[in-house]
């Protein structure tokens, strides 16, 4: 395994479900859970058919549940027609949910605005009508590069309403990354903002779009629609650029939702793999929405009066499933937050939970770990200083949560009253796959526990054979599920190779190593490929290496991950320059230069924490870089392995001592 998150705390206690959360839960009690798992195993098609009919509004009923004829290109509900936006908004219009608050938006500087479901529906319709008036229609691709805002949700929902396939690019990605994605999806539309506010600072977005489009190959883009967030001067390309408010102005507040085939692509979201450029994970309307809605109901046991807050940005899958789609389809009131957890102070999250009376809180282990440190050093901002009694359920996503962080979260945020839901899933799985359920699962800190009903998760060896309990292996899904990835946009071959390698009997390969304990609980051990997880964000080592070697000073680079107390993993780069080895201040200066270069090429999240210069890299005689050894060096540990097969063993000492 390439990563192992080490922990000093061994927490063997098991935390049974709280009785008050069992009663009335969407899935209530272990027997109920087992019965659902059995139902799904006995007749999967009937199970998914029942759920799809009960939970989605269909314009045209489907007659076939799962089409396996072109496996692994599975089709779900493939002759049915529906619309995702109608299932998130229109469905509530003639119900009491219409006047309920859909989104409470809190800006970076603390200003709060909110919209009801009825108002959100009207705004989505007006913007969709505006897009239609500009000539956009189903099947075109739109890049969305927006800050967290009601407008971001409006933009995504308006695209869904018309069948425009959106590809959201996280606002922290550089213009270069934005360019790559715009070209790859062949976008005809870009929706952005003048700037975004984070931690009191204004960060330009429209300027990055201008740069990206100027890089060439984006000739299909007809318009750049700009949400005015900050104000002030902007370069403007007349004829191409339009204000979002002008696009919506004067448009009717109803807009028929397009009846789309359930398999129509809803979105493409880029994520890192072990080789090459990030891959465009393609999701389908019907299956994705069904799985988002079901997991919102099951995992969070969402109730009418809940105030739901998922802190993820819409630039990541978590912000798709649990901000833009799942909570709306479930008719919940949710918080959308523009800012960062440390501004104006490190008590921001706790203060917001208190003020908005949040009952379901869902965040990443990195945030928990950094807020733990902050709270311990500045007791004034410790969660115990806030009234967090509104919380019922607290969740974690994106990376392994180590038992210390789990216990801190459980005690100090959840007040020992709320289950910590360690949800395991991926961009590719669409929604939760392995997770505790509040009304069912005894919790073990550090384990994502058991698969959801309908999910056949297993641990297998290289030949696809089940491994014994307690042994590590590859995490796979033995059966398809509705929310699964459909293909990699424009690269079906890579889809097959990455996720359905022939030796694994047609199982879906997640790319994580894991093991099961004697109770059948899953413990994730980290990625089995060259993908790093930095603060819950996936990063391919190859991507960072390519960025580095694109710099004129760099001849060769190798990137590995090093375990980190706060961010889970940190990027460490070993670099060979095409000049003499720098020393002292000069080495520091070049390292700083390379760090900002990577930020420009990919985005600040990819910046190496540590850059080490060497005259060479450790290679086998056949020229293969020995990353395993580099990982040991990166950790600052002594090399105990046999290095006699190396071409140049002395290089290891040089790199260990390098700055």
Binding site for ligand PRX (CB under 6 A): 271, 317-318, 397-400, 422-427, 448, 510-512, 524, 527, 533, 538
Side-chain-facing half-sphere of 330: CA atoms under 13 Å: 30
Q: Least separation, in Å, of the C-beta of 98 and ligand PRX?
A: 31
Q: Least separation, in Å, of the C-beta of 627 and ligand PRX?
A: 18
Q: How far is CA 310 from the centre of its chain?
A: 11
Contact 524, 583 (CB under 8 A): no
Residue with tokens 């099961």: 516
Q: Least separation, in Å, of the C-beta of 431 and ligand PRX?
A: 9
In terms of CB distance, is 33 or 508 closer to ligand PRX? 508
Cα distance between residue 254 and residue 90, in whole Å: 10
How many other CB atoms sit within 10 Å of the CB of residue 113?
12
**3-state secondary structure string across 311-347:** CCCCCCHHHHHHHHHHHHHCCCEEEEECCCCCCCCCC
In terms of CB distance, is 522 or 574 closer to ligand PRX? 522
Which of 601, 448, 606, 587 is CA-nearest to residue 523? 448
In terms of CB distance, is 318 or 567 closer to ligand PRX? 318
Q: Least separation, in Å, of the C-beta of 293 and ligand PRX?
A: 17
In terms of CB distance, is 85 or 427 closer to ligand PRX? 427
The percent of the chain in helix, strand and coil, each rounded to the nearest 5, is 35, 25, 45
Q: Least separation, in Å, of the C-beta of 231 and ligand PRX?
A: 33
In terms of CB distance, is 136 or 316 closer to ligand PRX? 316
In terms of CB distance, is 247 or 448 closer to ligand PRX? 448
Tokens of 553: 């000073």
Q: Least separation, in Å, of the C-beta of 552 and ligand PRX?
A: 32
For residue 119, report the phi and psi dihedrals to the nearest 5 degrees: -65, -40
Element of type H or E holding 600: helix 584-601
**3-state secondary structure string across 413-455:** HCCCCCCEEEEECCHHHCCCCECCCCCCCCECCCCCECECCCC
Between strands 333-337 and 101-106, the pairing is parallel
Residues paired with 192 in a beta bridge: 145, 226
In terms of CB distance, is 192 or 533 closer to ligand PRX? 533
Tokens of 497: 């190779």
Q: Least separation, in Å, of the C-beta of 512 and ligand PRX?
A: 5
In terms of CB distance, is 163 or 563 closer to ligand PRX? 563
Q: Least separation, in Å, of the C-beta of 558 and ligand PRX?
A: 21
In terms of CB distance, is 262 or 539 closer to ligand PRX? 539
Q: Least separation, in Å, of the C-beta of 386 and ligand PRX?
A: 26
Cα distance between residue 240 and residue 189, in whole Å: 10
Which residue's CB comes closest to ligand PRX? 427
Report CA Rg, the chain.
24
Residues paired with 569 in a beta bridge: 563
Residue with tokens 């293969």: 624
Q: How far is CA 367 from the centre of its chain?
A: 14
Residue with tokens 């720098």: 582
In terms of CB distance, is 332 or 532 closer to ligand PRX? 532
Q: Least separation, in Å, of the C-beta of 510 and ligand PRX?
A: 6
- What order of strands is seen across the sheet that includes strand 279-284? 241-243, 223-227, 189-193, 141-145, 165-168, 265-271, 279-284, 487-488
Contact 513, 528 (CB under 8 A): yes
Q: Least separation, in Å, of the C-beta of 595 and ligand PRX?
A: 23
Contact 289, 266 (CB under 8 A): yes
In terms of CB distance, is 124 or 397 closer to ligand PRX? 397
């Amino acid at each position: 395994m390439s990563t192992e998150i080490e922990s000093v705390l061994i927490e063997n206690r098991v935390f049974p479900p709280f009785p008050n959360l069992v009663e009335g839960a969407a899935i209530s009690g272990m027997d109920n859970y087992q019965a659902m798992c059995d139902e799904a195993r006995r007749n999967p098609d009937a199970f998914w058919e029942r759920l799809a009919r009960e939970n989605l509004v269909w314009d045209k009923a489907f007659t076939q549940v799962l089409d396996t004829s072109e496996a692994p290109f599975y089709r779900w509900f493939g002759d049915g027609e529906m619309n995702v936006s109608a299932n998130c908004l229109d469905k509530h219009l003639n119900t009491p949910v219409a006047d309920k608050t859909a989104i409470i938006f809190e800006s970076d500087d603390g200003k709060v605005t909110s919209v009801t479901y009825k108002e959100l529906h009207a705004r989505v319709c007006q913007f969709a009508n505006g897009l239609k008036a500009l000539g956009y229609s189903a099947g075109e691709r739109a890049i969305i590069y927006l800050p967290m805002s009601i407008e971001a949700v409006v933009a995504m929902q308006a695209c869904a309403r018309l069948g425009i396939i959106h590809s959201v690019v996280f606002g922290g990605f550089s213009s270069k990354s934005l360019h790559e994605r715009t070209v790859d999806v062949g976008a005809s539309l870009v929706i952005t903002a003048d700037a975004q506010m984070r931690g009191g600072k204004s960060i330009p977005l429209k300027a990055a779009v201008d740069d990206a489009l100027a890089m060439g190959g984006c000739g299909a883009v007809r318009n750049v629609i700009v949400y005015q967030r900050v104000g002030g001067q902007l370069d403007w390309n007349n004829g191409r650029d339009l204000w979002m408010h002008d696009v919506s102005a004067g448009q009717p507040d109803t807009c028929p939702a397009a009846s789309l085939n359930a398999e129509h692509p809803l979105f493409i979201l880029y994520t890192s793999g072990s080789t090459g450029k990030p891959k465009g994970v393609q999701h389908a309307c019907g299956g994705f929405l069904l799985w988002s809605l079901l997991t919102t109901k099951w995992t969070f046991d969402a109730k009418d009066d809940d105030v739901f807050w998922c802190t993820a940005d819409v630039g990541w899958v978590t912000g798709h499933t649990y901000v833009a789609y799942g909570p709306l389809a479930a008719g919940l009131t949710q918080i959308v937050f523009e800012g960062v957890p440390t501004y104006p102070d490190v008590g921001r999250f706790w203060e917001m939970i208190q003020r908005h009376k949040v009952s379901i809180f869902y965040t990443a282990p990195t945030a928990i770990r950094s807020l733990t440190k902050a709270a311990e050093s500045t007791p004034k901002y410790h969660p115990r200083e806030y009234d967090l009694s509104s919380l019922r359920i607290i969740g974690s996503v994106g990376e392994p949560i180590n038992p210390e962080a789990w216990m801190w979260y459980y005690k100090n945020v959840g007040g020992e009253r709320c289950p910590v839901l360690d949800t395991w899933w991926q961009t590719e799985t669409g929604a939760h796959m392995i997770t505790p359920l509040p009304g069912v699962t005894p919790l073990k800190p550090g384990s994502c526990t058991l698969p959801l009903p309908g999910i056949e998760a297993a641990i297998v060896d290289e030949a696809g054979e089940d491994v014994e309990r307690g042994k590590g292996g590859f995490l796979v899904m033995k059966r398809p599920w509705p929310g699964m990835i459909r293909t990699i946009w424009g690269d079906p071959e890579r889809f097959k190779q990455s996720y359905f390698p022939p030796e694994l009997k047609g199982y879906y390969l997640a790319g994580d190593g894991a093991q099961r304990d004697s109770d059948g609980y899953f413990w994730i051990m980290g990625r089995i490929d060259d993908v790093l997880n930095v603060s819950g964000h996936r990063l391919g080592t190859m991507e960072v290496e390519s960025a580095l070697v694109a710099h004129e000073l760099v001849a060769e680079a190798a990137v590995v991950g090093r375990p980190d107390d706060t961010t889970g993993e940190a990027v460490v780069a070993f670099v060979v320059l095409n000049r003499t080895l720098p020393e002292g201040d000069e080495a520091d200066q070049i390292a700083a230069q390379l760090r900002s270069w990577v930020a420009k090429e990919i985005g600040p999240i990819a910046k190496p924490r540590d850059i080490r210069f060497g005259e060479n890299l450790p290679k086998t005689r056949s020229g293969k870089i020995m990353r395993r050894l580099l990982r040991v060096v990166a950790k600052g540990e002594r090399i105990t392995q046999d290095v006699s097969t190396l071409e140049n063993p002395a290089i290891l000492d040089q790199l260990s001592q390098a700055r």
